[in-house]
Amino acid sequence: MAALLSLIAACWTQTFFIPKPKFTENDLVDQIGKVHIITGGYTGIGLEVAKLLYPKGATLYLAGRSPDKGATAIAALQKQFPDAKGRLEFLFLDLADLPTIKKSAQEFLAKETRLDVLLNNAGIMMPPTGTMSPQGFEAQTATNVYGPFLFTQLLLPLLKTTAKTAETGTVRVSWAASIAVEVASPKGGVLFSADGSELSREVTRQEAYGQSKSANVMLGVESARRWGGDGIISNSFNPGTLHSELGRTTNLAEKLLVFFIAHHVSLGGYTELFACFSPEITPALNGAYVVPWGQIGTYNKALQDAIKPTEEGGKGSAKKLWEICEKVTAPYM
């Protein structure tokens, strides 16, 4: 009963009657000289974040698979904000295709000498059952977990270098979670394969999505543990239930459900803005979970227990997931 009440409370507070954003573009400090990457930055929530950052003078890399969509978004941003002092770049990035990710990271590293914020915003949701990545992984697991992990690891040295001279708490990596952490994940967030070599494939497409989002909560916590000493803040966020392109591969019933409860996509931009830039997230809150529209939140106890290290009485799933991600992505480093 306690778990059910917790689920109802989480869904209610993260979907209905949400307080207005408390951290907006009006609170954002000048971003001239700062360099940020937004994966999936040319559509949906990612584009909404770009609209908040570009007028503040940021150098933004909008990363994704479509050069045409990237060019369209850049032209639209430049038209909307003709006086912006920022700079916009497209970066090709296919998170599902692991061997290609290193080239994308190298392209960025060849152009820039700093990276202040890596916003792992991109993802896919519930494609048709059986959809696989080019390397044969379940598509959501590859795109939402293994790909972002690999991309982040390839950029980690530059993040650490930037943190040495940046203002405390401003170099960040943020990982995209979802309300699916509460409503679609297996108990404890993730399941592992029988041999422990990867995330389980013995789940429904809905569970695979929820599992990938819970995995990102785990990566947010575990990266905070591992990189906090280097001055990097990591966190994860539920951007909110939104009208966006993310649901393009869902079925009609799923689309109808989202239609009736979803909010305007711009509100999700404020959730992510808070996660990436709010001074409320200090080093003491490294590993935090952000909920709509920019508040420190929490997630279910089963996931909390799974994330907690074994030496603290937990299941150690975050550490195990990290080790799996390292093994899966090692050939592509």
Calculate the alpha carbon distances from 316 to 75, 145, 305, 310, 324 in Å: 46, 18, 8, 5, 13
Contacts within 8 Å (CB) and 24+ apart, 4-13: 6/300, 6/301, 7/182, 7/183, 7/300, 10/179, 10/182, 10/299, 10/300, 11/179, 11/182, 11/183, 13/291, 13/297
d(CA 128, CA 138): 11
d(CA 69, CA 93): 13
Peptide bond preceding 175 in cis form (omega within 30 of 0): no
3-state secondary structure 3-21: HHHHHHHHHHHHHCCCCCC
User: Do 232 and 172 form a contact (C-beta atoms < 8 A)?
Assistant: yes
* DSSP single-letter state for residue 296: E
Active centre residues (catalytic): 209, 213
- The total number of residues shown for the chain amounts to 333
d(CA 179, CA 305): 18
